[in-house]
Amino acid sequence: MQKFSGFVPIIGAPNAGKSTLLNSILEQNISIVTAKPQTTRNRITGIYTKDNIQIVFVDTPGILDPKYKLQQFMSREIETSVIESDIIILVIDISKYDRENFASLYGKYSKEYKEHKLFCVLNKIDLVRKEQVLMVIKDISENFRVDEIIPVSAFKKFNVDELLKTIIKYLPEGGFYFDSDVVTSQPEKFFVAEIIRQNVLRQYKDEIPFSVYIDIDEFKERESGKDYIRASVIVERDTQKAILIGESGLKIKKLGEHSRKSIEEFLGRPVFLELFVKVRKDWKNDDEFLKKNFNKFGTSVT
């Protein structure tokens, strides 16, 4: 049977709904989702395979003007994904649409848009009236070069099937990049770290900023008994460490309990989780730290 496959990065501003869209397409959560911007840091691969079709989706960090070295790394993740693409999906939050902001976003990778197929996905249409959707479609189609404009609600999974059908029409002929039963190329350790980070962002909200890194110090799979996971929650200041631990260690205990349950649900097996909090001052600008830790899962910091 003739096969069709391709790489499809999902790009857009922070909190446009890129990770929610990927999770909706795959019908499982492989990208963490929180209300905080810049939740996604690495390229996260999600692989959709059905019959003779394979689409390698790449969830990317939000497009922004980098202010420190971690954000510079995140921007390079987007650029690499766009260059390697067959089709680019540019996601925008239609409830916040502004032509000037869209033009700025569009201009970031305008050269690559000319060399690849570009889909503009208008997300969160459940939050606006139909008249506004039609107005935005008209504005983008008249002022920007895009191959397709597709309105969706990733959260409610509305019109996601139509997006998939449209992507498939543009896929080049070619063999599969991954076995048909593979859903992501990242290892379990990566997702365990992401689950813990997601719980940190949700539990502490504005108390703990974006600058949290999760290091999986040890991950032992056991034939009998629970798997053992030891993880470090790394922050930039002693005050953040105190907030994470909480009075008498109650907050870190709660974080551990929630994270353990989420990890067990993801892995499908029981685990014993130990959490430690460490301070690494200004790690977001620490070349040595970034190169060491962000190279673990196939990404690079240069």
Same domain, 12 and 66: yes
More confident residue, 15 or 50: 50
What is the separation of C-alpha 100 from the centre of its chain, rounded to a whole number of angstroms? Answer: 25
Confidence of residue 289 (pLDDT cuts 50, 70, 90): confident
User: For residue range 63-83, what is the model confidence (pLDDT) as tens digits?
Assistant: 656 565 666 666 666 677 777
Q: What is the structure's pLDDT at 298?
A: 44
More confident residue, 42 or 78: 78
Identity at 119, one-letter amino acid code: F
Percentage of the chain modeled with pLDDT above 90: 51
Same domain, 35 and 127: yes
> Domain residues for 103?
4-170
User: Could you give the 3-state DSSP secondary structure of residue 287?
Assistant: helix
Kindly state whether residue 158 falls inside one of the protein's structural domains: yes
Q: What is the structure's pLDDT at 25?
A: 93
Confidence of residue 210 (pLDDT cuts 50, 70, 90): low
Full strand arrangement of the beta sheet holding 227-235:
213-220, 227-235, 271-279
Q: What mean pLDDT comes out for the span 81-88?
A: 82
Kindly state whether residue 248 falls inside one of the protein's structural domains: yes
Q: Is a pLDDT exceeding 90 seen at residue 299?
A: no
Same domain, 45 and 166: yes
Q: What is the structure's pLDDT at 108?
A: 79
Kindly state whether residue 299 falls inside one of the protein's structural domains: no
- 10 Å CB burial of residue 269 (0-12, 13-18, 19+) is exposed
Cα 101 to Cα 143: distance, rounded to the nearest angstrom? 13
Domain count, the chain: 2
Question: Domain boundary residue among 170, 199, 218?
Answer: 170
- 10 Å CB burial of residue 134 (0-12, 13-18, 19+) is exposed
Kindly state whether residue 192 falls inside one of the protein's structural domains: yes
Same domain, 84 and 16: yes
Same domain, 21 and 107: yes
Question: Domain boundary residue among 113, 136, 170?
Answer: 170
Residues forming a β-bridge with 58: 9, 45
Same domain, 231 and 287: yes
CB atoms within 10 A of CB 292: 12
Same domain, 48 and 115: yes
CATH number at residue 223: 3.30.300.20
Kindly state whether residue 302 falls inside one of the protein's structural domains: no
Q: What is the structure's pLDDT at 300?
A: 35
> Shortest CA distance to 92 belongs to which of 7, 17, 167, 8?
17
- 10 Å CB burial of residue 218 (0-12, 13-18, 19+) is exposed
Q: What mean pLDDT comes out for the span 45-53?
A: 92
Q: Is a pLDDT exceeding 50 seen at residue 34?
A: no
Mean pLDDT of the chain: 85
Q: What is the structure's pLDDT at 40?
A: 52
**How is 141-200 classified by DSSP, letter by letter?**
HHHS--SEEEE-BTTTTBSHHHHHHHHHHHPPB---SS-TT---SS-HHHHHHHHHHHHH
Q: What is the structure's pLDDT at 209?
A: 59
Cα distances from 44 to residues 73, 227, 249, in angstroms, run 14, 24, 33
User: For residue range 90-125, what is the model confidence (pLDDT) as tens digits?
Assistant: 999 999 999 999 998 888 777 777 778 999 999 999
Confidence of residue 14 (pLDDT cuts 50, 70, 90): confident
Kindly state whether residue 183 falls inside one of the protein's structural domains: no
User: For residue range 171-202, what is the model confidence (pLDDT) as tens digits?
Assistant: 999 999 989 888 887 888 888 998 998 899 88
Output the pTM of the full model. 0.74
Cα 81 to Cα 70: distance, rounded to the nearest angstrom? 17
Kindly state whether residue 182 falls inside one of the protein's structural domains: no
More confident residue, 164 or 114: 164
Question: Domain boundary residue among 139, 170, 201?
Answer: 170
> Shortest CA distance to 78 belongs to which of 36, 104, 42, 110?
42
Same domain, 116 and 204: no
Q: What is the structure's pLDDT at 191?
A: 86
Residues forming a β-bridge with 120: 90, 149
Q: What mean pLDDT comes out for the span 234-244?
A: 91
Cα distance between the two ends of the chain: 42
Same domain, 160 and 11: yes
Same domain, 13 and 136: yes
Q: What is the structure's pLDDT at 296?
A: 54
Same domain, 263 and 122: no
Q: Which long-range contacts (CB under 8 A, 24 or more apart) does 250-254 make?
A: 251/203, 251/204, 252/277, 254/203
Kindly state whether residue 118 falls inside one of the protein's structural domains: yes
